[in-house]
A and B are shown apart, each in its own frame.
Chain A
Amino acid sequence: MAEGVDTPTAILANAAAALRESPFDDISYRSLGDAVGVSERTVYRHFPTRSHLLEGVAGWIESAEFPLPPFVTIPQFQDASRARFLAFDSSPAFAFVCARAASISPTGESEATFFTRALVAMLATNHPSVNERDLRRVAATLRYFASAHFWARMRTGFDMSAPEISDVFDRTVVQALSGLPTLSRTSR
């Protein structure tokens, strides 16, 4: 295995590589141990259940394959989301694993992802006069329509490709934002 990589990371990298060949449920702990050169037992020690493994692999995939482009404005957020839909389209097996991992009962303390925090911060900056409650429901809506969940449902349930998915996403973003007062500086 690659030098300088710790065992859990090596396990996750191998699991991600195996996803190119087989579905997540067919990847065995034994084969992961073999690939990394550790015992099956060691794999279990790092990932006590398949839920732990699923979350771990999804985290690895998110950072390695679907890095989030930075955004500080709404149009940049939309661009970032569209870029991710395209990336999901080109690696569907990875994207479905991310959508699954974001759906299971969390194995540890669940906390907001970086994406969510960036989105909330962006909205708060762009719409400083909006109250907390309105801000949160707009943020939740935008976050949910920018998610791997959304991509997965549109792809499987509606046979949509990334550009079509982006179209539904854009329309929903416009609607969700339409109620918000914009920056209170001189109205143009």
Chain B
Amino acid sequence: MSATSEPDDRSAGDVNRTQEAILAAYAELIEELGTDDVSFRLIARRAGVGERTIFRNYATRVDLLLAVAAWIERRIFPRQDSPSIFDMPLTIRAAMESYDHRPELAHVVAETTMRGISGATPSPRRAMLEEMIDAEVPSLGDAERRAIVAALAHLDSAATWVTFRREFGMTRSDIADAAAWAAEAVLDPIRSRVG
């Protein structure tokens, strides 16, 4: 699943081997138990480290949860590098499908981005979107540029999958279609202004 060429765009990539083992073990347990409320003891045993090693790396439960959310988003739900902002509907479609394959992990990612400044960053790909839009549609005014980047960042997230599933009871393909459709709608007004 992680066959993406990975530019070092996320600081969350800086995990050492011990942290990697801890986070992988924690993610595994979240899926098995259906909750992120997993004891440090259980995580330590699964990771093959001592409980104190976890505390040394992640002083609090919240630190550990935010670290695992970033790890999950990067490792389990990586995005393909898209060369064009107009590929975002496809990127979003693929992301929705991968969230749907790992629902427990998708919920963890969604929830940790909704905690404000003390949580996980809610729009990790904002800079990439801005670069693409500036390169392809340089004539956009500030307000319009910002609105499009913000709307695409919002759609390209686990919360989209959560909301479409929860509020509308949509299936995997319905969610993927609807999210991709929404991204197309957001991009429609700038299609003719490329270059």
Contacts and interface: CB of A to CB of B under 8 A. Distances in A.
Most buried by B among A100, A103, A143, A152: A103
A112 interface: yes
A143 B167 contact: yes
A142 B141 CA distance: 24
A153 B113 contact: yes
Interface string B81-115: 00000000000000000000001100100110111
A175 B163 CA distance: 20
Nearest to A96: B116
A141 B143 contact: no
Nearest to B126: A157
A122 interface: no
B160 to A, nearest CB: 6
Interface stretch (B15-23, B71-79, B180-188): B180-188
Contact of A103 (B114, B143, B146, B147): B114
A171 to B, nearest CB: 5
B185 A140 contact: no
A178 interface: yes
A171 B62 CA distance: 36
Contacts of B151: 145, 168, 171-172
A49 interface: yes
A125 to B, nearest CB: 18
A143 B119 CA distance: 23
A168 B146 contact: yes
Contact of A144 (B113, B118, B154, B188): B154
Given A23-B118, A168-B151, A116 B188 contact: no
A43 B187 CA distance: 49
A144 B122 contact: no
Chain B interface main SS type: helix
B44 interface: no
Contacts of A156: 113, 116-117, 119, 121-122
A103 B186 CA distance: 23
Interface in B148-194: 150-151, 153-155, 157-160, 162-170, 174, 177-178, 181-182, 185-186, 188-189
A151 to B, nearest CB: 10
Contact of B154 (A99, A100, A153): A153
Contacts, number: 143
A147 to B, nearest CB: 6
A16 interface: no
Interface string A154-188: 11111010000001100110011011000000000
B163 A172 contact: no
A21 interface: no
Contact of B163 (A23, A25, A149, A168): A149
Given A137-B178, A140-B167, A145-B154, A49 B114 contact: no
A86 interface: no
Contact of A168 (B111, B114, B147): B147
A154 B150 contact: yes
A97 B93 CA distance: 28
Contacts of B164: 140, 144
19 contacts: A102-B114, A105-B34, A105-B104, A105-B107, A137-B177, A137-B182, A141-B178, A143-B167, A149-B159, A153-B157, A155-B116, A156-B119, A158-B146, A158-B150, A168-B147, A168-B151, A171-B147, A172-B147, A179-B185
7 closest A-B pairs by CB? A157-B123, A137-B178, A103-B110, A99-B114, A103-B111, A157-B122, A153-B122
